[in-house]
C-alpha cells in the first residue's frame, strides 16, 4: 500500500510516496481503509525531524483519519467491517490504510461527510482534553484562544460557545479575525495590530479570562498570565513562538493561576481511550446537532502532500487542511 514516508528529514520535498507493508490488526485493533487524513502542525514538526512517532507507531506522519473499517481483531467489540469511522492515531495516517486500537475509533457522526470528518479527531480530542478535562472550562466562563483560525482554534471556538462560554480569539489578519467571529467568537483580536492583553482587559472590564488555550508559547506565556482572571488557567499545547518562556511568578501567584503544558499522542493508550470516550459522550452530540463542525481550508490528493505542507507552513490557512486518500 502507499504511505507518505520521510526517508530524510527536511522541507516539504522530504515527503515521499512509498510502498509499505499492509497493516494487520491486533486482537483489539481495527484496520481502516482511509478516505482522508488530517494535516497538523505536528506533522510538519515530524517531517523536520523534531517530533518522531512514539514507540510502536508507524514512522510516517498522520494523527487522524476517516474511512471504512475493512478488518477487525478477534476481540474487537465496538466496530465492524463496513462501518464508517474516524480515528485518532499516534502516527501513520498518511497512508491507504491504518491499524488502530478500537478505543481510539469513533463512528462517523450523523450529517458529516466522510472526507470532512477527517478534520475532527485530533482537534476535538485536543480541545476537549485541554480546555474541558484539564482546565475545567465551565458555562459562563471566558476562553481566550490563540490561533483561532487554525484547525484546533476553529474547533475550540465552536465547542466553547456551544457549551456556554464567551470566547475571544487571536488571529493574524482582519479576514481571520472575521472568520473567528463567524464561528462564534465574541471578538477576534488581530495580534499584528492589537495587544491582546489590553483588548481582553477592556472586554472583561479588568477581570481577565478564565482559560487561555495557547498554541504559541514563547513570550506569549507571560502575556497570558497578565490576561488571566483570578483562578485562571493557561493550557499550552504548542510552541510555535518558542519553547522557552519567562514569567513573573508573583503575578501568577497573585492570580492563583496555573500554567499547564500538555501533548496528546505521547499519552498512554488508556489516557487516549478515556479522552475519546469523553469525546463520544460529550462532543459527538454537538457535532451531530450541527453546533460543532469541521471547517475546511483545503483538500489535497495524497500525492500532493508537499503542497499541503506548504499551505500549512504559509500560515495562510483558515480551518483544517486535509489529504484525500480515496
Instruction: Report the 10 Å Cβ neighbour count for 205.
Output: 7
- What CA–CA distances, in Å, run from 45 to 6, 192, 270, 309, 323? 12, 24, 25, 11, 17
Query: Which of 261, 278, 310 delimits the end of a domain?
Result: 261
pLDDT (tens, 9 = 90+) of the chain, 326 residues, equals: 999 999 999 999 999 999 999 999 999 999 999 999 999 999 999 999 999 999 999 999 999 999 999 999 999 999 999 999 999 999 999 999 999 999 999 999 999 999 999 999 999 999 999 999 999 999 999 999 999 999 999 999 999 999 999 999 999 999 999 999 999 999 999 999 999 999 999 999 999 999 999 999 999 999 999 999 999 999 999 998 888 999 999 999 999 999 999 999 989 999 999 999 999 999 999 999 999 999 999 999 999 999 999 999 999 999 999 999 98
Cell of 44: 510538519
Same domain as 65, residue 151: no
Closest-CA residue to 4 (of 51, 39, 32): 39
Cell of 302: 495524497
In a domain, 182, yes or no: yes
CATH of residue 85: 3.90.180.10
Same domain as 174, residue 189: yes
Question: What is the structure's pLDDT at 177?
Answer: 98
Region of residue 91 (left: phi > 0; alpha: psi -120 to 50; beta: else):
left
Same domain as 194, residue 150: yes
Same domain as 7, residue 100: yes
Same domain as 27, residue 93: yes
Same domain as 159, residue 247: yes
Query: Which of 211, 243, 261 delimits the end of a domain?
Result: 261
In a domain, 276, yes or no: no
Question: What is the structure's pLDDT at 241?
Answer: 86
Same domain as 143, residue 108: no
Question: What is the structure's pLDDT at 326?
Answer: 80
Continuous H helices in the chain = 41-47, 121-127, 151-162, 174-182, 196-203, 220-227, 249-254, 269-278, 284-288, 305-314
CATH of residue 247: 3.40.50.720
In a domain, 51, yes or no: yes
Judge contact between 222 and 245, C-beta under 8 A. Answer: yes
Same domain as 60, residue 136: no
In a domain, 288, yes or no: no
Distance from first CA to last CA of the chain, Å, rounded? 13
Spatial distance between the Cα atoms of 68 and 80, rounded to a whole number of angstroms? 9
Same domain as 111, residue 164: no
Instruction: Report the 10 Å Cβ neighbour count for 246.
Output: 9
Same domain as 78, residue 18: yes
In a domain, 273, yes or no: no
Question: What is the structure's pLDDT at 242?
Answer: 86
**Residue 151: domain span:** 123-261
Q: Which helix (H) or strand (E) segment is 296 a member of?
A: strand 296-301
Same domain as 88, residue 24: yes
Q: Is the pTM of this model over 0.85?
A: yes
In a domain, 41, yes or no: yes
Closest-CA residue to 297 (of 151, 124, 122, 111): 151
Query: Which of 261, 285, 308 delimits the end of a domain?
Result: 261
Contacts of 170 (CB under 8 A, 6+ apart): 144, 145, 146, 147, 148, 188, 189, 190, 191, 196
Same domain as 145, residue 104: no
Spatial distance between the Cα atoms of 92 and 112, rounded to a whole number of angstroms? 23
The total of structural domains in the chain comes to: 2
**Torsions phi, psi of 97, nearest 5?**
-145, 155
Half-sphere exposure of 86 (CA within 13 A, CB side): 28
Amino acid at each position: 500500500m502507499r504511505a507518505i514516508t520521510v526517508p530524510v528529514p527536511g522541507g516539504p520535498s522530504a515527503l515521499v510516496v512509498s510502498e509499505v507493508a499492509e497493516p494487520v490488526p491486533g486482537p483489539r485493533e481495527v484496520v481502516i481503509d482511509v478516505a482522508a487524513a488530517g494535516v497538523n502542525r505536528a506533522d510538519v514538526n515530524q517531517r523536520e525531524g523534531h517530533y518522531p512517532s512514539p514507540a510502536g507507531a508507524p514512522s510516517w506522519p498522520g494523527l487522524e483519519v476517516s474511512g471504512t473499517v475493512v478488518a477487525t481483531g478477534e476481540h474487537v467489540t465496538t466496530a465492524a467491517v463496513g462501518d464508517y469511522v474516524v480515528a485518532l492515531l499516534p502516527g501513520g495516517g498518511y497512508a491507504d490504510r491504518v491499524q488502530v486500537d478500537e478505543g481510539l475509533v469513533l463512528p462517523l457522526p450523523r450529517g458529516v461527510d466522510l472526507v470532512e470528518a477527517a478534520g475532527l479527531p485530533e482537534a476535538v480530542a485536543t480541545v476537549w482534553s485541554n480546555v474541558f478535562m484539564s482546565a475545567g472550562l465551565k458555562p459562563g466562563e471566558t476562553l481566550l484562544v490563540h490561533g483561532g483560525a487554525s484547525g484546533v482554534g476553529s474547533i475550540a471556538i465552536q465547542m466553547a460557545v456551544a457549551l456556554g462560554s464567551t470566547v475571544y480569539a487571536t488571529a493574524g489578519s482582519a479576514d481571520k479575525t472575521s472568520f473567528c467571529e463567524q464561528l462564534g467568537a465574541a471578538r477576534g483580536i488581530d495580534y499584528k495590530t492589537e495587544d491582546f492583553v489590553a483588548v481582553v482587559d477592556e472586554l472583561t472590564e479588568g477581570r481577565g479570562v478564565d482559560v487561555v488555550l495557547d498554541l504559541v508559547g514563547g513570550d506569549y506565556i507571560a502575556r497570558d498570565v497578565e490576561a488571566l482572571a483570578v483562578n485562571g488557567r493557561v493550557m499550552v499545547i504548542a510552541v510555535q513562538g518558542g519553547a522557552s518562556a519567562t514569567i513573573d511568578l508573583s503575578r501568577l501567584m497573585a492570580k492563583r493561576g496555573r500554567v499547564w503544558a500538555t501533548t496528546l499522542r505521547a499519552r498512554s493508550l488508556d489516557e487516549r481511550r478515556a479522552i475519546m470516550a469523553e469525546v463520544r459522550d460529550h462532543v459527538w452530540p454537538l457535532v451531530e446537532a450541527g453546533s460543532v463542525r469541521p471547517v475546511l481550508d483545503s483538500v489535497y490528493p495524497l500525492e500532493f502532500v508537499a503542497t499541503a505542507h506548504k499551505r500549512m507552513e504559509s500560515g495562510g490557512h483558515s480551518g483544517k487542511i486535509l489529504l484525500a486518500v480515496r
